[in-house]
Chain A
Amino acid sequence: MRRTALLMTVLLAAACGHGADDPTAAGQPSPTQAGSSAALSGSLRIQAAGGEGELKALQEVVAAFEAANPRLTVDFTGVAEQGDHLAKLTAGFAAGNAPDAFLLNYRRVGAFLERQVVDPVRTSGVDVADFYKAPVEAFSRGGTLQCLPQNASSSVVYVNETLFAKAGVPLPSADWTADDLLKTAGALAAKGVESIAFEPGTRTVAPFVWSAGGEYVDSTDRPTRITLGSPEARSALELLTQLQRSGFDARQRAAEDPQDAFGAGHVAMLVDSRRAVPGLRKAGVAFDVRPLPKGAAGSVSLLASDGWCVSKASKNLDAAHAFAAFTVGDGGGTVLAESGRSVPVSKALAQSPAFLAAHKAPETAQVFLDSIGTLRRLPNVANQNEAEGAADDLLEQYFAGKLPLAELVQEVDRATAAAYAG
């Protein structure tokens, strides 16, 4: 009800151009209040990275925000690749020319917090109490929320309904086990269907290690190394290696990105987070999602969460914070939820039809919400990005069959210890 009223405000503002100028028109204080505040003017520079669908959704949010704030001009820079995004931000801060607000994964935020270039979240206009806990923790440092989480996604298994039907293999149930996953993959492969594709890095390996009952990083708060030596971690790697045999191997991954392969109907299952959804919808593939299979420690998934950080040096701090609030509130948050890209951080929004909309794939979007309870996260320290980069390079070699397990364990230990030590 409240949401509908506010949406109307936004739409009215868009239609008349002046509706939001009247401070009484917005009614009760709420998340979008900040976004449609009349006082905002000047210009704002926003930067984010993501795939085509993600960027398009964000552009829509920017347009809605501009419509709600007619005296503000927003310049949105969308970057295709994470590395370029970080390089651009780094250069921007060095040049004193950084964007006012930028979207970052919590695993990459550490370096920017360390350099003290981020203005902590202003919680006035945002109902953080309604947020899921995991993303809030992930973006906090010293008890303060530094960047405003925009979404809280988890790794899941995407299944191609058409390919399963064609192979005559039943779709897995929601409480399947690692063993079921292996059997399903085997059954698909027996029918000549490529079974599963995944990125050979931290994003895939960490949740499988956790599900098996192991630890991926020695400590979330004070990490010193990534640990793949435990029997649990080894069994998780072994499981993934076996899966790779009936699915996409290194050669196929080099030819085609896992997500694109799944979108093109070349592979029946995909391990990925919510970010795959806009692209898969566009590709028109018939798909649904299942939680990660249960291991010895149950089903544990990896938190994927992006948050809006505001530059301390911004000349338009009010507008920058208001924009961040707008993207998680009813105005922008709804657009993002509908785009399929984001699992909202706000519980109210996550339970809303905008997100759970049954007429759009994935049918069982609830899976994403259910797994929020079983989420674990990676550290958000300054060198997290370097440590993961080092581990991912080695994991890629391992999954390409160029590095034996014993060497992988040893090298990951050495390289990530060096990276965390800085």
Chain B
Amino acid sequence: MTRGAGTAVRVVLLVVLLLPAALIVTGSLRRLGLPAPSGLELLPADPSLSSYRDLAQRVPVGLLLRNSLVVTGIAVPLTLLVASWAGFALTQLGERQRRFALGAAITLLLVPLPMLWVARFVLYLRLGLLDTLVPLIAPALAATTPFTVLLAYRAFRRIPATQWEAARLEGASAWQTWRRIGLPQVKATTTAIAAIAFVFHWGNYLDALLYAQYEDVRTLPVGLAELIELDASDQPVVFAAAVLLALPALLGLLVVQRTLLSTTDRAAADMD
């Protein structure tokens, strides 16, 4: 394939993927109360933020946002710690333990989620945790997804084992070695894990649907899902909701895109 064709493919792909996104953002700026547009409108003639104001009147955005921030604020650091510790430990434990843990992590990626629902429901029910934010944060205890542990393991493995040995000989504990020698060298992967955790917890609708239904624990996805009932004449409000939900996740992607999108990529991994 020639150089020009490669660039052309990229341009086409960008347009195909970015055009709908642009239409959604500009669509959210259309003034409310106008009839639905009868054609594709790249930019509304008279852009306004009225749809966002209307959104704030329809759903308690402040409350939803606060709950979402509490969940991500706890779940993201928790995921980081759990995944990073586990990944770090796995690089230095015995071969058999390592193989077992890594094998388990990969097997767990193949367990369908419905397999967990009923028992988790009963667990939360017995512990009196239904309709609290705990079921939304809990997945972070298991590193949110085994993938984050695998990523952390991969990053720590790149650091020469001699560094661990040196630290150990100097009498450093495992925790100190992780904190002072390991962690500073895997910043890019740490950011990537944070991004993965954020994307999951920010958009987590399913766990809320299953275990936390009520008003004061509703998060942003739960509150905004109700707007699916709105009609074509309120389309700008629906777009505004989609933008509000998607923007933080996409910003997260942009901030870490060099590292997240490259952690599986040898060249970029060298940055760790």
Contact = CB atoms under 8 A, between A and B. Distances in A.
> Do A and B touch (CB < 8 Å)?
yes
Interface string B53-69: 00000100000000000
Nearest to A52: B58
A95 B215 contact: no
Interface string B86-125: 0000000000000000000000000000000000010001
B232 A77 contact: no
A260 B232 contact: yes
Chain B: number of interface residues, binned into ranges: 10 to 19
A313 to B, nearest CB: 14
B233 A97 contact: no
B226 A81 contact: yes
B213 A80 contact: no
Contact of B213 (A88, A96, A256): A88
A107 to B, nearest CB: 20
B171 interface: no
B232 A91 contact: no
Nearest to B131: A97
A95 B232 contact: no
A80 B59 CA distance: 11
A92 B58 CA distance: 24
B75 interface: no
Contacts of A96: 125
A96 B129 CA distance: 11
B130 interface: yes
B170 interface: no
A94 interface: yes
A108 B58 CA distance: 26
Contact of B229 (A81, A87, A91, A255): A81
Interface string B192-215: 000000000000000001000111
A377 B35 CA distance: 38
A260 B130 contact: no
A77 B35 contact: no
Contacts of B214: 77, 88, 92, 97
B231 interface: yes
B80 to A, nearest CB: 31
Interface in A90-105: 91-92, 94-97
Interface of A: 52, 75, 77, 79-81, 84, 87-88, 91-92, 94-97, 255-257, 260, 264
Of all A-B residue pairs in the complex, the 3 with the closest CB atoms, nearest first, are A260-B231, A95-B130, A80-B226
